[in-house]
Structure 1
């Protein structure tokens, strides 16, 4: 079950979320594909590649439980998990090596986690879309609705903010819909709005004799 946790108690921490330089391995972590079968241990029961090494000098792909025992026994290794088909990492595994302030956190199976990358915004008329539309908080990078007053929805969005110095502008969620509802939409190039064309002059049915 996925549930929210309270935002950081100090507002100063959230304000300084993008001021710290991120480690070099973070971009590799965010671009790595996890949960594929390990080619070195195809017949083993725990062969899904859901581990990532922080100490290997060159970018290493994800590896499985058996690879960790053989090649990364003395290294710092984090385990990636899944929530709603998206990759997450436990806060306890990265909070001492990574500045995670300002990133929305959740609790899954009694453990606080962070999403690695941006997720699609809920759309339509479902419960998730309704909650997103009602949320007053949005990610500063992708405009995804947040549950609490955090700045980012994921580590990936915080990395974008750090690399750009906070100069990435986003369109607030629902802005286009609000403009349309208020009649503020504009025609491009003077084109007339396309409406339903009338097929012809209506004719009254003849009276019966």
Structure 2
């Protein structure tokens, strides 16, 4: 049986990018739940996604792939810091990933599927975010390199809105982080630290 192969993306009549039918389903799917068909198997987490099955296509496990998706294009979802990622080598031929920040995890280049919370507070991550000159054009998350988006989800927002999907201007979301790390406000005045001392310290009396 021949395998159906579709181009990753195509241009519509108005010049807008046409997205793959499966992309929104992929980004909204919850992965790593136990497979109901193989509850007692050791590798039963549903971390596989089929690109050839009709959308919406539910995730499935390693054993389901062997039985029902042998001739299909399948990508495997992985985890990094409790967030879903996919390897670049598995999607670069079926999806336009240009402009999306890539990371190297376990010697493999990966992309995050969806937007992640901004690092806040006075820790090392917040300090790096405040100092970064690059930001996601949709969520303003600090980026490591001069990319436009932090995830496939943010690029999807930009594509669907024709480049008008930015809800936060680059740099705005990191102002609080910079202040928490000891930075200054827009007016040049120093902001107070996030945690204040309770009461006035009292010196213990000297013993006689």
CA change 1:29–1:204 in 2 (3 A) is closer
After superposition, give the CA deviation of every residue in 1:38-64 in whole Å (9 maximum; x if it has no partner).
000000000000000000023121100
User: Quick one: structure 1 residues 19 and 203, their matched pair in 2 at CA, closer, same or farther if it must change by over 3 Å?
Assistant: closer
Q: Whose RCO is larger (CA < 8 A, sep 6+)?
A: 1
On the 8 A contact 2:140/2:171 being kept in 1, the answer is no
In structure 1, runs of 5+ residues without a counterpart are none
Aligned-residue offset at 1:21: 2.4
In structure 2, relative to structure 1, the CA distance for the partners of 1:196 and 1:122 (3 Å cut) is closer
CA distance in 2: counterparts of 1:117 and 1:61, whole angstroms: 18
Q: C-alpha displacement at 1:174, in angstroms? A: 4.9
Report the Cα offset of residue 142 of structure 1.
0.4
Aligned residues: 206
Larger of the two Rg values belongs to structure: 1
Q: Over residues 149-185 of structure 1, what are the superposed CA-to-partner deviations in whole Å (9 max), with x where a residue is unaligned?
A: 0000000000000000011233335538869999999
**Structure 2 SS opposite 1:59:** coil
Q: Give 1:20 deviation, angstroms.
A: 3.3
Q: CA deviation at 1:22?
A: 1.8
C-alpha distance in 2 between matches for 1:110 and 1:2: 34
1:14-42 Cα offsets, whole Å, 9 max, x none, are: 99999632211000000000000000000
Q: C-alpha offsets along residues 70-119 of structure 1, whole Å, 9 cap, x if unaligned? A: 11111000000000000000000000000000000000111000000000
Counterparts of 2:124 and 2:3 in 1: how far apart (Å)? 15
Aligned to 2:6: 6
Distance across 1 between alignment mates of 2:52 and 2:12:
30
SS at match of 2:3: strand
| Matched position secondary structure for 1:113 | strand
Given the superposition, is the C-alpha separation of residues 198 and 124 from structure 1 closer, same or farther in structure 2, using an over 3 Å criterion?
A: closer
* Structure 1 pair 76–188 and aligned structure 2 pair: CA distance change class (3 A): same
- Is the CA contact 1:17–1:100 (under 8 Å) kept in the aligned structure 2? no
Contact 1:5 1:107 in 2 (8 A): no
| RMSD (Å), alpha carbons | 8.3
State the distance in 2 between where 1:73 and 1:4 align. Answer: 13
